[in-house]
Structures are given as structure tokens and as C-alpha cells.
């Protein structure tokens, strides 16, 4: 046996038993929602207010994935700049729904420095370097470096994962940047020697950002 729960405007809370196998929530005799073995169904024309869907989850219920944003670059690009430059087509923008949310960011990059130079990769949140390495003299502060000496067909996979706390509800951009140590050309998604042959590969690079509830 089940119960209709009615917030009656005259008699207050009224409980009425029936045999429907459901619990009906009513106001002034009008159905608001029905609870059954399959879940909760809102009555026609009734919705949960937006305020019921905001705020923090109770303790112990965090860690839910709220949204996922991805970007993939399938073409190749190169630079000889000794200053870090953005990689066109390989950035994402994600807008956290709460300032307490964290963003789990994963980068997978195919990178090639040449036998005469070292290539650098670093990862950014907006204009801030993520997980900035500790300064050590004049050494380059980067997330990855490669110098493919005598390895003209060797594309180095660079993977980076970080759980970021941007502490904002504004649009936030995540992106890699690349640079050359000495001003020679370094490459993304291809090798320096790019002869049309099976042993000179092409690859794709990807970013994934996931908002994680606190």
C-alpha cells in the first residue's frame, strides 16, 4: 500500500493511502511529483527549480564529472622561435560551474626536436604556467624537452596530467606551448625529416579537460 502526501491549504498535511504502489507528492490536491520503483517523475508542467541543482554536494559525494571538453590537432606545425608560442588549434576553453570545482587536464602531444636542437613543451592555464618547475640557475623551466640526436624518424610522445584548481567560474583556457632552445626548427605531429615514406610518421595531439565536483 502506498500514500498520497498532500500539502492541503485547509487541513494541512493530509496522508491518503491507496494501492498504486507509488508515493505522490501533492499541493492543494494537485500532483507535483511521483516516486515509484523506477525513480522520481515530475508531474506535467512541473520542474525542479534551478536553485535545487546548485551548491555543493554533501561530504563524501564529490568527485563527479560535470563536463568534458576536448580538442584534437591532426595537422602538423613547426617553430624556430626561442620564445614560447601557442599551438594553433590545440587549446580548449572550459567554464567551471562552481569556483570550488577542479579541472582534470590531460595532454597527449607528439613532438620532435632535431639532431641540432632541443625542443621544449610547456603547459598553460590562461597565461600561467601550470606546475612551474623550481628555478635552477639558467636552466629552462619546461614540462618536456626532446633532442632526437640521430633519430630522424623518432616522434616523442609527451603526456601530462594535472588536477588543477582554477578557483573561478569564468572561462578558462588550457593549452600547450612550444619553443626551440637554439632557434632551429622543432616540430609537432611530424618528424623533421618528412620524406613521403612509411618510416616517417605523422601523429595527432589531444587535450582533454574534465570538470570535477569538489
CA dist., res. 109 & res. 90, Å (int):
10
Residues 88 and 144 both lie in one domain: yes
Q: What is the CATH number of the domain that holds 86?
A: 2.60.120.760
Please check whether residue 16 lies inside any domain of the structure. yes
My answer on whether 8 and 98 are in the same domain is no
Say how many domains are in the chain.
Answer: 2
Q: Within this chain, do residues 75 and 178 fall inside the same structural domain, yes or no? A: yes
108-138 pLDDT, tens digit each: 988 876 666 788 999 999 999 998 888 888 8
Residue 206 falls inside a structural domain: yes
Name residues whose C-beta falls within 8 Å of residue 196's C-beta, 6 or more positions apart in sequence.
Answer: none
Predicted confidence at residue 85, as pLDDT, reads 96
Chain segment 149-195, per-residue pLDDT in tens: 555 656 778 889 999 999 999 999 999 999 998 888 888 998 878 78
Does 52 reside within a domain? Answer: no
The answer to the question of residue 55 being in a domain is: no
Whether residues 98 and 129 share a domain: the answer is: yes
**41 & 116 share domain:** no
| Residue 105 lies in domain | 65-212
Residue 1: what pLDDT?
47
CA torsion sign for 119, 92, 206, 161 is positive
pLDDT in tens, 38-65: 778 888 877 765 455 555 555 555 678 9
Amino acid at each position: 500500500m502506498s500514500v498520497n502526501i498532500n500539502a492541503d491549504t485547509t487541513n494541512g498535511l493530509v496522508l491518503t493511502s491507496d494501492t498504486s504502489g507509488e508515493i505522490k507528492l501533492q499541493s492543494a490536491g494537485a500532483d507535483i511529483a511521483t516516486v515509484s520503483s523506477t525513480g522520481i517523475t515530475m508531474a506535467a508542467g512541473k520542474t525542479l527549480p534551478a536553485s535545487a541543482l546548485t551548491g555543493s554536494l554533501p561530504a563524501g559525494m564529490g568527485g563527479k564529472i560535470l563536463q568534458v571538453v576536448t580538442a584534437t590537432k591532426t595537422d602538423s606545425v613547426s617553430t624556430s622561435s626561442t620564445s614560447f608560442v601557442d599551438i594553433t588549434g590545440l587549446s580548449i576553453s572550459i567554464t567551471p560551474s562552481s569556483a570550488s570545482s577542479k579541472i582534470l587536464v590531460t595532454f597527449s602531444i607528439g613532438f620532435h626536436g632535431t639532431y641540432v636542437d632541443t625542443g621544449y613543451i610547456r603547459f598553460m592555464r590562461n597565461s600561467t604556467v601550470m606546475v612551474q618547475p623550481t628555478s635552477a640557475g639558467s636552466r629552462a623551466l619546461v614540462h618536456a624537452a626532446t633532442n632526437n640526436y640521430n633519430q630522424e624518424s623518432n616522434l616523442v610522445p609527451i603526456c601530462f596530467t594535472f588536477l588543477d584548481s582554477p578557483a573561478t567560474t569564468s572561462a578558462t583556457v588550457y593549452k600547450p606551448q612550444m619553443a626551440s632552445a637554439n632557434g632551429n626548427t622543432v616540430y609537432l605531429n611530424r618528424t623533421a625529416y618528412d620524406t613521403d615514406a612509411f618510416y616517417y610518421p605523422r601523429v595527432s595531439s589531444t587535450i582533454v579537460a574534465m570538470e570535477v565536483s569538489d
